[in-house]
Amino acid sequence: MSWILRVRGLQKSFQDAQETRLVLDDINLSAGAGDVVALVGPSGSGKSTLLNLLAGILEADAGEIELCSEGRTVAYTGLSASSRTRLRRRHIGYVFQFFNLVPTLTVRENVMLPLELNGLEELEAEALSRLESLGLVARLNDFPAHLSGGERQRTAIARALAHRPTVVLADEPT
C-alpha cells in the first residue's frame, strides 16, 4: 500500500444563518510515509476544516477518509465521535493553530498527556529529549500562560510528536 492517509470525494458544508455554505467539495488526496503536504489558500478557504476532518474532529458530509496504520486500514465513515477520538489519540499528532495546551498542566505534563492517554509511558525519555531539542528543558515546570508564543508552539509540536503518531497534522505551524 503506497498511502497512509487517503481522501476520496470529501465534502463538507456548514449552515450559515439561512444558507448552507459548501466549504469543501470533492477533495481527493493521498499521502504516504515521509510525505510532506502543504495546504495553501486564502483565509476561509477550508484549510483548517480539511485538517479537522483528517483528524476526525469533524465528520464529513460525504466522501471517505482512510488511515492505514500498523498494518490495518481504518475508514472514518460511520465511526462514532468517541471512536474518532480514540483513532486521533493513538494515530494522529495535531499541532493546533492556537496551541490548545491545557492551561493547568505544565510543559512537561502537556507533552506527557498523549503518552498517558495511550498507555505509552515508556516513551517518556524520548518525549523529554524532544523537549530538549526544542530548547524547552528550562521551561518543563512552567505553565502555558508563562510561555512566549514560540515556546507554546514548540510545546504543542513536542506534544503532537510524543506518542509517535502515524500522521502529523499542523495548522499554521510557525
- All structural domains of the chain with their residue ranges: 5-79, 107-170
Confidence of residue 106 (pLDDT cuts 50, 70, 90): very high
Angle between helix 107-117 and helix 124-133 axes, rounded to 10 deg: 140
pLDDT at 129: 87
Query: How far apart (Å, rounded) are the C-alpha atoms in residues 37 and 21?
Result: 26
pLDDT one-digit tens code per residue, 139-155: 999 999 999 999 999 99
For residue 83, pLDDT beyond 70: yes
- Per-residue model confidence (pLDDT) at position 122: 83
pLDDT, mean of residues 33-40: 91
Q: Of 164, 105, 159, which is closest to residue 134 (Cα–Cα)?
A: 159
pLDDT at 118 over 80: yes
Question: Taking CA 43 as the corner, what is the angle to CA 147 and CA 88, rounded to the nearest 5 degrees?
Answer: 60
Per the rule left: phi > 0, alpha: psi between -120 and 50, beta: everything else, 17 is left
Please give the grid coordinates belonging to residue 58: 469533524
The model's confidence at residue 174, banded by pLDDT at 50, 70 and 90, is low
Higher pLDDT, 122 or 14: 14
Neighbours of 30 (CB within 10 A): 15
